[in-house]
Amino acid sequence: MTTTLGLVLRDSVVLASDMRATAGYFISHKHAQKLFKIDDHLGATIAGRVADAQTIMDYAQVEASLYKLQRGVPMKVRAAARLIANILFQSRYHMPYYVQSLIAGIDSTGPHLFILDLLGNLIEDKSVSTGSGSPFVYGLLEDQYNEGMTVEEGKTLAVRAVHSAMERDAASGDGIAVAVITSEKGFTRLSEEEIQKILNGSKR
> Which residues are catalytically annotated?
2
SS3 195: helix
Distance between CA atoms of residues 126 and 121, nearest Å: 16
> CA of 121: how far to CAs of 25, 26, 65, 89, in Å?
29, 30, 24, 8
Reduced to 3 states, what is the DSSP secondary structure of residue 109?
coil
For residue 196, the surrounding DSSP H or E stretch is helix 192-202
Q: Give the span between the Cα atoms of 96 and 190, in whole angstroms.
A: 33
Q: CA 67 to CA 170: how far, in whole Å? A: 40
DSSP structural state of residue 43? E
- Torsion angle in degrees (nearest 10) through CA of 69, 70, 72, 77: -80
Amino acid at 177: A
